[in-house]
Amino acid sequence: MNFKLKNTLIWMAIFSIIILTAVGITYRSTSSLVEKTIYDHLHVLTVDTAKTIETWLNQQMKILNATADSIDYENIGNNPETLRPLKMAMKAGHFSDVYIGLPDGKIIDGADWVPPETYDTRIRPWYLRAIEVGQTAVTKPYIDLTTMELVIALVTPLKKHDDFIGVLSADTVLDVLVENIANVKVGETGYAFIVEENGMILVHPNHDYVMKTRLQEIEPDLKWKAEQAQELPHGTIAYQDKIANEDYLLSYQKVPNTDWYLCTIVPLTEAYALTQKATILSAVEVVLLVLGGLASVTLLGIGGSALVLLIFSRKFKTTVDKQREEISGINEDLKWNINKRKEVEAYYQTLFNVANDAIILCKKFYLVECNERAEGMFGGGRYEVLGRSVLDLSPEYQPDGIESVHKLRSVIENSEAGDEQFLVWTFSRLDGTEFPSEVGLKVLHLNEEELTLYSIRDISKRVNAEEQLRQAQKMAAMGEMLGAIAHQWRQPLNTLSTYVASIQSAYFNNLISKEYIEKMVSGADAQIQFMSKTIDDFRHFFRPSKQKNPFDIIAAVRSAVKLLDPHLEHNEIVLSVNQSNGDTELVVDGYQSEFVHVLVNILDNAKDSIKGKPQQPKGVCHRFIDIDIAAHDQLVEVCVKDNGGGIPVHLLPKIFDPYFTTKGTSSGTGLGLYMAKVIVEKEMKGKLLAENTEVGSSFIIQLPHSSL
């Protein structure tokens, strides 16, 4: 072998070794990248599923702790006050049972289960678990004596000033966890399950394994150890099932606040096919192996393999860089979406809490969410308000006399048609005080559940202002009413003066006798009773009505007429009342005193309008006010007509506006007709209309018949 050929062979051998080394290193790097990608994908899936279970457990624990805070420890026992929060918790958390174990071995059961005589809470696993950990915790699965189903219990010790009261426990049927785990799919045949530290299976697609078999028994090659799980709460294990002769991957993640581990298992062949990038990298592995074989067979193959290796290395690098860019882009998109979701959640949470109105979300009347404004409005903390019923925060009867429960059900039924409902509602604070409010109500359907959204605005100040405004209008009319009282009293005072003067004359003329004295006393008493009755009439006029009650509208009209009779007579105005129904009572629901005030205001305006007309010759009466009362199918109608010339057409649309008056500021406030319309239409659900006739104006009051 000549020197040149020898050198050539040496250099070719060196190149062959270099090529084989490069192939080996590249193959090893590729295999490591494939393995890491698969492990990471399986671990992320396991962590996400574990977080779902953690979120579900935390929500259940919050409901349990809220229930514990709502229990009255002073009166704890098998009574309605203690059972009410237990039953509310069962509905809110979908628990199969919520109960309290007492230190004497007795039980207070929210599902009304009657235990056998030998039943002792102190030896039950849930009671012992709460004593052991001393805080809210989760028990191991056990058979519930109430439902005879496999359940887990959430438990928390009850303490008052460090004194042990008992244990509050809530049972959740294990099927709830099974449903969550069954939705997890890994490849074609992979699945998820839950085990304890010691390997006991809690949730598994094969129900025969649950609470009967350990993981070490069904997967002996896995070599699951409790010590290893405690030291490392998460990880991924590769193992070979020698019986099935197949490789598997198992990823596990500890569920916080429990000794549970969420596991996902998948055959290795399916794991390699989970992502597209894994498939590409596997192809590169095959190419590198082929190139290495060719390089070791022939020198020409070495040269050709070197060339092919260079080409595929560049393609491989390009593919890897592209995959890295895609992964980087996906990570950036995920980070952006997560941050954006957090921003949106924070934005809407801020709007929810800073809203001027109280907002509550209810499920079957019971509060499941509320904002800070609702806590302040009802005078309690968040957990004092949540769990209560809307009816617990309402008086038994609303101001219109309808039971709160019947009225609320009717409103919700109307809202289920899809329309938002608006109503005036009286609520009760936690200290028992009541306040009026305006409520917007909407029925929603989320995750196949029906929820009711309430937007509540406290209108106490507005109602008080309207009441003060209404009373102020009455006081504004007091000057004219005092003139009416003076006119009413003038004649009886003159009569009394005559009686007094006649007594002196009779005394000097020796005419005083028993019959004379009785006559004088009887006459004076009649005049005094008349004056007293006048005072009572005006006193009732100025006294506001507190509650809506049925009253006879004809009697109310007569009361209003009686108050203004002296003024009308003084101004030579003839008033007549016409009833189409004869003497039959016409009963409506409302505030009688306020309705009398409405009529007095309308009649007083009619009087002033007639006074502005030219005076007619004495004895010729062309001044009149007619009150017509008629009953229709659903309504009672009162029509007040006069011949005062009517209201200017351009002013007719404005007469019910506040502070608008045609009398001038010296004799009018502009509140009379405004308050009259508020009383009739808002307080009594009727209508108040005004129109002109040929000779004057006509005011029409329409009110619904009483429901009694």
- State whether 697 and 640 are in the same domain: yes
CA distance 147 to 145: 6
Task: State if pTM tops 0.85.
Answer: no
pLDDT score, position 572: 83
Instruction: Tell me the helix, strand and coil percentages in the chain, rounded to 5.
Output: 50, 25, 25
Residue 347 lies in a domain: no
- Read off the CATH number of the domain in which 636 is found: 3.30.565.10
What letter would DSSP give residue 477? T
What's the Rg (C-alpha) of the chain?
A: 45
593 and 560 in a common domain = yes
Residue type, 383: Y
Tokens of 284: 């590169």
Q: Which helix (H) or strand (E) holds 107?
A: strand 107-109
Q: Is residue 118 part of a domain?
A: yes
Q: Are strands 574-579 and 624-631 parallel, antiparallel or unpaired?
A: parallel
Give the model confidence (pLDDT) of 149-204 as tens digits. 778 888 999 988 888 889 999 988 777 677 777 777 777 778 888 888 888 888 88
- 607 and 496 housed in the same domain: yes
Q: Is 444 within a domain? A: yes
The strand order across the sheet containing 366-370 reads: 366-370, 358-363, 449-458, 434-446, 421-428
Residue range of the domain that includes 105: 71-173
Mean pLDDT per 10-residue segment, the chain (708 residues): 60 71 67 72 80 83 88 87 88 86 90 87 89 87 73 88 88 74 76 84 82 82 73 80 81 83 84 58 56 58 52 68 77 77 66 78 87 87 86 86 86 77 87 89 82 87 72 57 55 66 78 80 70 59 64 87 76 87 81 83 86 61 86 91 89 81 59 81 89 92 84
Last residue in a domain, options 134, 158, 173: 173
| Judgement on whether residues 410 and 448 belong to the same structural domain of the protein | yes
Question: Of 349, 353, 284, 294, whose CA–CA distance to 323 is shortest?
Answer: 284
Q: pLDDT of 404-459, one tens digit each?
A: 888 888 888 887 776 778 888 899 898 889 889 988 888 888 777 888 888 898 88
Q: How many residues does the chain have?
A: 708
Is 117 within a domain? yes
Is residue 96 in a domain? yes
609 and 515 in a single domain? The answer is yes
SS3 241: strand
pLDDT at res. 666: 47
pLDDT given at position 509: 80
Same domain, 504 and 641: yes
Do the domain assignments include residue 339? no
CA distance 202 to 172: 14
Edge-to-edge strand list for the sheet holding 624-631: 574-579, 624-631, 635-642, 697-704, 687-692
On whether both 616 and 642 belong to a single domain, the answer is yes
pLDDT, residue 543, reads 55
- For the stretch 586-643, pLDDT in tens is 899 888 878 888 888 898 888 888 887 766 555 545 789 999 999 888 899 999 999 9
Q: How many independent structural domains does the chain possess?
A: 3
Last residue of a domain, one of 173, 202, 223: 173
CA-CA distances (angstroms) from residue 112 to 30, 146, 180, 190? Answer: 64, 10, 29, 42
Final residue in a domain of this structure, among 173, 196, 227:
173
Positive or negative: CA dihedral 130, 136, 138, 144: positive
- Give the model's pLDDT for residue 299: 47
CATH code (residue 425): 3.30.450.20
- What is the Cα–Cα distance from 453 to 191, expressed in whole angstroms? 39
What phi and psi values does residue 282 have, to the nearest 5 degrees? -65, -40
Same domain, yes or no, for 446 and 496? no
**Do 415 and 475 fall into the same domain?**
no
Q: For residue 294, tell me if it sits in a domain.
A: no
Residues 635 and 596 in one domain: yes
Query: Residue 131 domain-assigned?
Result: yes
Write down the pLDDT at residue 427: 92
Q: ∠ CA 415-421-424 to the nearest 5 degrees?
A: 135
685 & 597 share domain? yes
Query: What pLDDT does residue 301 have?
Result: 53
Give strand ranges (E) for 502-616.
549-552, 574-579, 587-590
**Is the CB of residue 129 less than 8 Å from the CB of residue 121?**
no
On whether both 564 and 672 belong to a single domain, the answer is: yes
